[in-house]
């Protein structure tokens, strides 16, 4: 257990005990002292322990044999509560094990980056403060968990997402070294620097772009977003930013329908349940050929698999073979243009998606 998690739980339990004891031995009004402590301690800790931390360098101490980034703590388990959600929150581990059956090479395990680093990369301090409270966080993850102590949500869910966000940044660093890398999570494309939604809390795509700009001096970055949903989070962050080129294939008839964010897209392609594998691949080939320029310095590929037939959220009908073909096409173009590419898994949380992701990654590696 990390020191921060220990302190978090210590204050949660202490403030609840104080509330109960003062209620019993003093009077009802005495409870207020404990409740006040319960309400204000998360912000005090967030400020003193996290937000005062320094920014750090992104250093890979030992270069892995294959450029895959994964940590067991990506998987979200919360005493069974996660089963209430329609998503398979352990897909990362399932994909990892599937790859592991055929490839035994060493991967990269990321560390949790400091809050100082996230702030340096542009995260909003106010947004991180708000995330201290379940009542706010529950609206972003679409689970009725507003009544749970914030410490529970942080240790079971938010820290996993923040670690996966750190993983995306480590994977970007790795892609610059190796030409390509895959983070077996991330792709939280509905999150922006100061807001979230659609199960996306931390804006890893925006943070990767800012990492490439601030730490590596890149200024021509392309985001290829092939998740079924529009990537409105980073689109809001990079509206009017000419250093980021956005290609987004999405179903316009589903969440989020963010028309203001759409204005940031440079190449917008609409797909729906009538788009076949063949049509999809043709559209992809055509648009990559037209929009990928030789002077582009980095590709962030958001490879959501919720375009697969049967996915209740994506409402499209691409087959598992179509997913493999899609990933192959994107990687081939990146390779042809000699642009480093970072792949993020993004949406697609059915059991069938997991197998298709594993097979597709294996095809890319072998």
Interface residues with Zn ion (CB under 5 A) are 227-229, 304, 306, 347
Nearer to Zn ion, 196 or 304 (CB): 304
Nearer to Zn ion, 304 or 322 (CB): 304
Is 190 an active-site residue? yes
Contacts of residue 344, defined as CB under 8 A and 6 or more positions apart, other chains included, come to: 168, 171, 182, 183, 185, 186, 187, 204, 205, 300, 301, 302, 303
Provide the minimum distance between the beta carbon of 199 and Zn ion in the complex, in angstroms, as a whole number: 9
Q: What are phi and psi of 308, to 5 degrees?
A: -75, 145
Residue-wise DSSP of 153-218 = HIIIIIHHHHHHHHHHHHHHHHHHHHSEEEESS---TT-BTTB-BTTB-S-HHHHHHHHHHHTT--
Q: What are phi and psi of 340, to 5 degrees?
A: -60, 140
Provide the minimum distance between the beta carbon of 349 and Zn ion in the complex, in angstroms, as a whole number: 9
Q: Where are the alpha helices (DSSP H) in the chain?
A: 3-25, 31-45, 91-102, 115-120, 125-130, 134-141, 150-153, 159-178, 204-214, 232-237, 259-262, 277-291, 320-337, 351-365
Nearer to Zn ion, 167 or 347 (CB): 347
In the set 107, 189, 190, 229, the catalytic residue is: 190
Q: Within 10 Å of residue 282's Cβ, how many Cβ atoms?
A: 11
Name the DSSP class of 108. B
Provide the minimum distance between the beta carbon of 255 and Zn ion in the complex, in angstroms, as a whole number: 8
d(CA 123, CA 216): 18
Nearer to Zn ion, 107 or 229 (CB): 229
What is the separation of C-alpha 43 from the centre of its chain, rounded to a whole number of angstroms? Answer: 24
Provide the minimum distance between the beta carbon of 305 and Zn ion in the complex, in angstroms, as a whole number: 9
d(CA 233, CA 231): 6
Provide the minimum distance between the beta carbon of 314 and Zn ion in the complex, in angstroms, as a whole number: 6
Provide the minimum distance between the beta carbon of 128 and Zn ion in the complex, in angstroms, as a whole number: 24
Tell me the residue nearest to Zn ion as measured from the CB. 347
Nearer to Zn ion, 208 or 228 (CB): 228
Active site residues: 190
């Amino acid at each position: 257990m990390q020191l921060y998690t220990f302190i978090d739980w210590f204050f949660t339990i202490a403030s609840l005990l104080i509330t109960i004891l003062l209620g019993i031995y003093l009077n009802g009004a005495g409870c207020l002292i404990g409740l006040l402590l319960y309400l204000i301690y998360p912000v005090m800790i967030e400020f003193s322990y996290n937000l005062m931390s320094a920014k750090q360098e992104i250093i890979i101490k030992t270069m892995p044999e294959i450029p895959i980034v994964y940590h067991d703590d990506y998987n979200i388990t919360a005493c069974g509560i996660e089963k209430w959600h329609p998503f398979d929150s352990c897909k990362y581990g399932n994909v990892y094990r599937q790859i592991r059956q055929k490839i035994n090479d060493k991967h990269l395990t990321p560390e949790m980056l400091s809050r100082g680093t996230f702030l340096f990369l542009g995260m909003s301090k106010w947004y991180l403060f708000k995330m201290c409270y379940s009542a706010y966080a529950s609206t972003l993850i679409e689970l009725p968990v507003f009544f749970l102590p914030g410490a529970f949500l942080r240790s079971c869910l938010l820290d996993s997402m923040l670690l996966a966000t750190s993983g995306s940044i480590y994977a970007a660093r790795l892609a610059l070294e190796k030409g390509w890398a895959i983070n077996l999570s991330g792709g939280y494309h509905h999150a922006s620097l100061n807001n979230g939604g659609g199960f996306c809390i931390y804006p890893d795509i925006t943070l990767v772009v800012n990492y490439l700009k601030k730490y590596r001096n890149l200024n021509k970055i392309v985001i290829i977003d092939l998740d079924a949903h529009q990537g409105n989070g980073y689109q809001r962050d990079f509206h009017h930013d000419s250093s980021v080129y956005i290609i987004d294939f999405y179903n316009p008839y589903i969440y989020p329908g963010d028309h203001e964010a759409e204005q940031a897209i440079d190449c917008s392609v609409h797909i729906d349940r009538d788009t076949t594998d063949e049509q999809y691949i043709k559209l992809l080939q055509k648009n990559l050929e037209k929009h990928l320029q030789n002077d582009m310095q980095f590709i962030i590929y958001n490879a959501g698999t919720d375009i697969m037939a049967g996915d209740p959220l994506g409402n499209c009908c691409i087959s598992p073979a179509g997913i493999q073909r899609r990933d192959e096409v994107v990687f081939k173009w990146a390779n042809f243009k000699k642009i480093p590419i970072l792949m993020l898994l993004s949406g697609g949380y059915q059991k069938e998606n997991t197998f298709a992701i594993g097979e597709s990654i294996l095809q890319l590696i072998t």
